[in-house]
Structures are given as structure tokens and as C-alpha cells.
Structure 1
Amino acid sequence: MATQRQVPARFVREHTQQVRTDFVPEVLLHVAADVVALWEAMESDAGGAGDAPPFWAAAWPGGLALARYVLDHPDVVAGARVLDLGSGSGLVAVAARLAGAATVVASDVDPFAVTAVRVTARANRVTGITAVGDVLDAGPPDVDVVLAGDVCYDREMTQRVLPFLDAARAAGSEVFIGDPGRPYLPGERLVEVAGYDVPETEGPGIRRTRVWRLP
């Protein structure tokens, strides 16, 4: 796992607002009211954000679908050791714990997201979540279930993620992917387990979003 610098929790709290989405009202989230202003603050107030947009500060449809799925089907994670891959601000991680997961490792490549997961867990008064950085090069951890929301958002990340998920499945983990129909997702080799009409992250539209299982 790559070493990441620490982002103060105060930064996340000061530059986001707490909301509950209509789709997953069980989880209190920290999201950006103004993404551009947040990105500028990441650059100036938090020591530089590089080229990474603040993806962690939004509730993306794949994560919303996965969170809804585990809350509606708690048997998927009840008593299990869970990895939330591409955790963002921790929506799916918190949902998994609320659904009865024994422990959750919440991984994200962005150090701002790692801090946001911790802030979100505290806001929801949820324990048992360990926030970590990039795990894709280290091989899958010893978990029972992998939940991966919105991880196939571009070609480069998909090429990193899919071998990791295949290895996790080969090691015995159940693997679930939440995705709103992005072109890089290999849907032909996945099994659909649920479909939802999820509000768009940006704008008033609805996005058909599916939860897939890696067979």
C-alpha cells in the first residue's frame, strides 16, 4: 500500500456540507456544495491537490446503488469482513457496517478521500471502519466481500481494478460492482443482481445503475 500524506479532518469538515440523499437517507454524507471552490481550497489550503479532482466529495450512482443494495440485502455483508474499494467519502463503507458487516476496510487512492471516510464514519457514529490508501498493487486483502462502486470510470483505472477484483474472487471473496453503464465495465462477464434508477450526481436526471456480481 502506498504511503499517503495526511489530510486534516478539519479541512473536510470545513469545505463540505452534511447531507442525506433521498436514495440512501440512512447515511449522512460530506459532499461539496461547490466543487470548483473545493478544488481550489485543496490546492491552496491543503498543500496542493495535484491533478486529481475531488471525486470523493460527491455521491456517485454506483456507490449509491451498492449502498442501497447492501442495506436492502444485509445478508450479503452480515458478519463479513468487507473491502470497500474506491470508497470516496465512505458511503458504501458506512452502509456495509449499518447492514451488519463485522469490519470494513475502506480504500481510496486519494488521500483526501481517506480522511473523508474517517470524518463520515464519525458523523454517522459508526466504528469498525479502517480507512486506507491505494491497495491495488498489494493484492487483495483477506476479506469475505469486496464492494466496488464507480471504479471503471476510465480506461487506466479499469485496467488496474479488474485484475485486482479477479484475484479477490479467485481467493474466495464475493465481489460486487456498482456501475451506471460506463463503457469500460465488462458487463458481458458479470451477473446482474439489482438495478436502480439513481439520481444523477450532476443535474436533475436519472441514471439506470446496476449492481453486478463477479461469478
Structure 2
Amino acid sequence: MEQLWPFSDPFWAIYWPGGQALARYLLSNPGVSQGKRVLDLGCGCGASAIAAKFCGASHVVANDIDPVAAIATQLNCELNGLNPLPCDTENVIGSEPKGYDLILLGDMFYEEALADSLHSWLNRCIQTHRTHVLIGDPGRAQFEGHSIRRLLRQEAQFELPKAVREENYGLTCSTVWRYLPEL
């Protein structure tokens, strides 16, 4: 495989459980993204961005710092019969907040420093533009133990398929959380 694929750790190639939960949630509740400007932060394969577009979002941007993730997102758009979505590969965390109505984050709370910077940036987005934030996570220890957990309200929970449970060390479900910081 190494000769055919020169990249290590293709995180964008995996349909992560948090992203799966977000996509399933949006598809089950199309009004959440309908008519909205949506940012899929850390989009990976673009599943949440694609789900938002299918649900009638007015504008969707897929963002991931890995440029190969942008290619994976474009391929997945094509496979799903969608025109290519705008893909941004800049690290937007910490940047001046843009006017998104909804930010989606799947599986982004995998280390404390990243979680801390996300917490700060998301607060600025909410304060500046009244942005809504949905987080998908299967209950990883770094997420469960972070102080941000007290600022979340559970919106939905989805059982993971058997293969995904095995790939994710036995995690059995993934949850969609609404981020409600104390402003």
C-alpha cells in the first residue's frame, strides 16, 4: 500500500464517528442548515458539508488544513451528484470570525490544546455573528474530560455500525452536541 499511497495517516480518508453523527443529524433535521451559511471545520471527507448542502444550506464551506481532505471532499461531492463545494485549507481557528450561521465540528476535540483554542474561537464567532455550533463526538476521553463539556446540550445520539465500533476501540455511539457557552 505504501507504494500506491505516499501519505501517512490519511485522517481525511476516514468517515469519523463524530462526522457521521453530524451528517445523520442534519439529514434527519434539514431545517437546522436550510438557508444557512455553514462552515464544516475540520471537514475530513466532507460528509457533514455535503449533508448541509443536501438539506438546503445557502452556502457551505468545507475547511481542513490537509489539502488532500479538500480533494476527498470534492470527490465525495462528485460521487453524491453535487457541484464542488468551496474548500478552504487555511487554519481558520483564531482568525477573525466570518459570518457563518452554523459551524459543524466532527471529531475535533482530540487534544486539549486544540480544544482550548476552539473554545476561544467559537466564543468569538458566537459573540460576533450569533453563530450556532454543533459538535459531533463519540465520547473520546479528551472530549469527555474537557471543561467545554459543561457548555454542551445533547441534541441526538446515534449507534455506530459494527465496523466503525471496531475501528474506534469499541466506542458504541456518537453524539451531536449544541455548544452553548456562557457569554
TM bracket (short chain): 0.7 to 0.9
Whether contact under 8 Å (1:179, 1:210) holds in the other structure is: yes
* RMSD (Å) for aligned C-alpha atoms: 2.0
Confirm or deny that 1:81 pairs with 2:44: no
1-side partners of 2:63 and 2:2: how far apart?
Answer: 21
Shift of 1:201: 3.1
**Counterpart among 124, 134, 137 of residue 176 in structure 1:** 134
Q: 1:38 to 1:71 in 2, by over 3 A?
A: farther
TM-score relative to the length of structure 2: 0.85
**Counterpart among 39, 42, 56 of residue 6 in structure 2:** 42
**Counterpart among 145, 149, 159 of residue 102 in structure 2:** 145
* AA matched with 2:6: M
2-side partners of 1:201 and 1:42: how far apart?
Answer: 25
User: Could you tell which deviates more after superposition, 59-68 or 117-126?
Assistant: 117-126
2-side partners of 1:114 and 1:42: how far apart?
Answer: 17
Shift of 1:107: 0.4
- Partner SS, residue 172 of structure 2: strand
Structure 2 unmatched ranges of 5 or more: none
TM-score relative to the length of structure 1: 0.73
Query: What does residue 77 of structure 2 align with?
Result: 121
Write out per-residue CA displacement over residues 180-201 of structure 1, whole angstroms, 9 at most, x where no aligned residue.
Answer: 1123332211111111112353
Write out per-residue CA displacement over residues 120-156 of structure 1, whole angstroms, 9 at most, x where no aligned residue.
Answer: 1122121362111121132332111111110001223
More helix by share: 2
Query: What does residue 159 of structure 2 align with?
Result: 197
Tell me how many residue pairs correspond in the alignment: 171
Whether contact under 8 Å (1:197, 1:206) holds in the other structure is: no
Query: What does residue 55 of structure 2 align with?
Result: 99
Q: 1:170 to 1:54 in 2, by over 3 A?
A: same
Structure 1 unmatched ranges of 5 or more: 1-36, 44-48
1-side partners of 2:174 and 2:31: how far apart?
Answer: 21
**Counterpart among 73, 84, 87 of residue 131 in structure 1:** 87
Query: What does residue 211 of structure 1 align with?
Result: 176
Q: Identity of paired residues, percent? A: 36
User: Could you tell which deviates more after superposition, 195-204 or 179-188?
Assistant: 195-204
Whether contact under 8 Å (1:146, 1:176) holds in the other structure is: yes
Whether contact under 8 Å (1:103, 1:128) holds in the other structure is: no
Aligned structure 1 segments of 4 or more residues deviating by more than 4 angstroms: none
Shift of 1:91: 0.5
